[in-house]
A and B are shown apart, each in its own frame.
Chain A
Amino acid sequence: MITRWRRLGFGAATLALAPASLVSVASAAPAAGSATHGGIQVTGAFVPLPASPSVASAYLVFHNLTGRADTLLSARAPWASQTMPMSEGATSMTMLGPVRIPPHGRVAFNPGHDHLMLQGLRRKLKVGERVEVRLHFRHAGTVDVAIPVVPLNRILDTESGKGAVKAGASPTTMGHMAGM
């Protein structure tokens, strides 16, 4: 997808302002658990089937396709009362502040390191379904990702998305919503 956009000759500034139609073209055949909008691409997202009825974690990789740093400001999911980026620190889990995505860089949320923590689950998740997470970036605006729920043991995957891409038979992207 990155290559394609570059070939089309969109600069970073154009990307950041890309209208909905462009985005949906670019995301015509996305991998499972991926989404692209406003110069931010999310790939390899997965949610291991939560062992707890109350809390889940989401793992994903953020790519900044632009030459300007962007920042993940917050996240929300309709199926959880609270969504927070968290980090596993030296002895404990701590809340991440805004997460900076460097220009042309990537930030990976991997098991045992960083994750989106989803608390107050409103329903029981099922392996194979896709759950929506809405991410808010300073520049890219709102990016919605449909994240596949995968078997719990996939939490042992050390690279976010390594297994998740294999997980879904019929990948879908929710595209983006208004909110820029």
Chain B
Amino acid sequence: MRPIPRSRRTGTRLGLALAGLSLTAALLAACGGSGSPTASANGGGVMHVTGSSGPSQSDPHYPGAIVTPDAAGKPTVTLTDTSDQPYNLARATQGRVTLVYFGYTHCPDVCPINMALAGATVNRLAPKLRDRVTVVFITTDPKRDTPKVIRAWLDNFSGGDRFVGLTGTIGEIHQAEKQVGMPLSFVESGPGAGNSGYQIEHAGYLLAYSQDNVAHLQFYDNEPAPSFATSLSNLVTHGFQR
């Protein structure tokens, strides 16, 4: 059994309900509540929620990945890609191994980490395998993330010029989030909420779809790219196996 990842990584269905708790935990920890002389301000609470079908599992075929028992399908809503063209993820990536991440370009930490991770993972694959993987970034901030902004942002990541970037209306994006079982993103209140500096709460992990168009795996950024590359390589070569 793989160590249970820290709670943020799970980006759970209880995410919204947990938001208040996490704020409290973070503030407590930041004030040195733990008393540890080496205090990361992160509370490090363990909370892993995957839905009704029981806990997620590790699998030796998929190092670093969470194998989800109630895996999500692909979003079927048609969004807009960075060439301003309609993009239906379910149709466009039918039968392909696909990594999907929801985030926003003004996100300073977790989104660039996950996109860098996706790039580093895919770059580790042999070129033949790499060509059989699609990486998709879906913005949770359509107001600021125009197709052009998304494209420029993705292009900064190693291999990111091959990533698909998608936007849509808030309604469409929420629909996509619902369809993959993620908590709905929302604009955070707080300083900056009323101006251009606002932050967005969103799930913080990569969904990894196999050829059956089901996200059997989730990648959380507390695991290294080489592990994910092995997982992805197995997925591309053999399909998802239990």
Answer whether A107 and B156 are a contact pair too, CB < 8 Å, given A90-B18, A99-B30, A100-B32: no
Q: Do residues B201 and A91 form an inter-chain contact, with CB atoms below 8 A?
A: yes
A7 to chain B, nearest CB (A): 22
A145 to B36, CA, bound (A): 25
- Identify which of residues 117-143 in chain B touch chain A, using a CB-to-CB cut-off of 8 Å: 117, 119-120
Residue of A54, A56, A91 near B12 (CB, 8 A) is A91
- B14-58 interface bits toward A, Cβ cutoff 8 Å, 1 = contact, 0 = none: 011011011101110111100111111111010100000000000
Return B103 CB to nearest CB of chain A, in Å. Answer: 11
Interfacial chain A residues near B31, Cβ < 8 Å = 97-98, 100
Instruction: Answer yes or no: B60 CB below 8 A from chain A CBs.
Output: no
Give chain A nearest CB distance to B91 CB in angstroms. 28
Beyond A105-B38, A112-B109, A112-B113, whether A90 also contacts B30 by CB under 8 A is no
Q: Please give, as numbers and ranges, the residues of chain A lying within 8 Å of B45 by CB-CB distance.
A: 90
Q: In the complex, are the beta carbons of A89 and B158 less than 8 A apart?
A: no
Query: Given A54-B106, A89-B8, A113-B41, do A96 and B113 touch, yes or no (CB 8 Å)?
Result: no
Contacts of B112 in A (CB 8 A): 48, 50-52, 57, 152, 155
A114 in complex: contacting residue of B18, B25, B32, B42, CB < 8 Å = B42
Q: How many whole Å from A144's CB to the nearest CB in chain B?
A: 21
- B171 interfacial contact with A, CB 8 Å: no
Besides A94-B26, A104-B37, A119-B197, 10 other A-B contacts (C-beta < 8 A): A57-B112, A89-B25, A91-B183, A99-B41, A100-B31, A107-B38, A117-B109, A118-B108, A119-B108, A158-B222
